[in-house]
Amino acid sequence: MTTIVLLVVLVGIVLYIIGLYNGLVTARNGYKNAFAQIDVQLTRRYDLIPNLVETAKGYMKYERETLEAVIQARNAAVSGLAGAKAQPGDAQAMQQLAGADNQVTQALGRLFALSEAYPDLKANQNMMQLSEELTSTENRVAFARQAYNDSVMTYNNRRETFPSSLIAARFGFQPAEPLPIEDASHRAAPKVAFG
């Protein structure tokens, strides 16, 4: 009888450990899925930028430097996104993505500020539509970033609390890094005011 009780207790412990492990895997997959949503929105944002620049080119003939800065920032951000996509949750990849995305935000801010000096550009239907899509995408990025950071917090809490921390350490569950916001200007979508 004692061997049966011992066997039941042992099976219970094994099932508990399996449950802890599966919970860690589920939480890790949750933050990776949340990052995939950031990837979708940032890719959409970065795909809109060349169209925006092309629309502005015809009007802003003398602002070549600003247009090139926007494209360079966009290309750096696409590269940062590819690195982060390969390692969601990695601290260095998240920092690089946040820095590159901040450069895009700053370059777009300069572009929109300059566009104020071109009334025909401000009134251009294509420019207005692209600006509206970009603003909408900025909001989606903010929501996706929040969901990702929440998932990272859930995962990190799960891997750091006892007894899951024992399983996490034993099976190599690494901490995940949230996607930081570089500065206060990035906390809100860029203001776009045409007309």
Model confidence pLDDT, tens digit, residues 91-119? 899 999 999 999 999 998 888 888 777 77
Say which residues have a Cβ less than 8 Å from residue 13's Cβ, sequence separation at least 6: none
- Lowest-pLDDT choice from 10-19, 117-126, 152-161, 177-186: 177-186
Domains of the chain: 20-187 (1.20.1440.20)
pLDDT at 43: 92
Cα dihedral sign, 86-88-91-96: positive
Please name the amino acid found at residue 18: I
Identify whether the C-beta of residue 77 lies closer than 8 Å to the C-beta of residue 42: yes
* pLDDT tens-digit series, residues 13-60: 999 999 999 999 999 999 999 999 999 999 999 998 888 888 887 777
* pLDDT tens-digit series, residues 130-142: 888 888 888 899 8
Across the chain, mean pLDDT equals 86
**What is the average per-residue pLDDT within 157-169?**
93
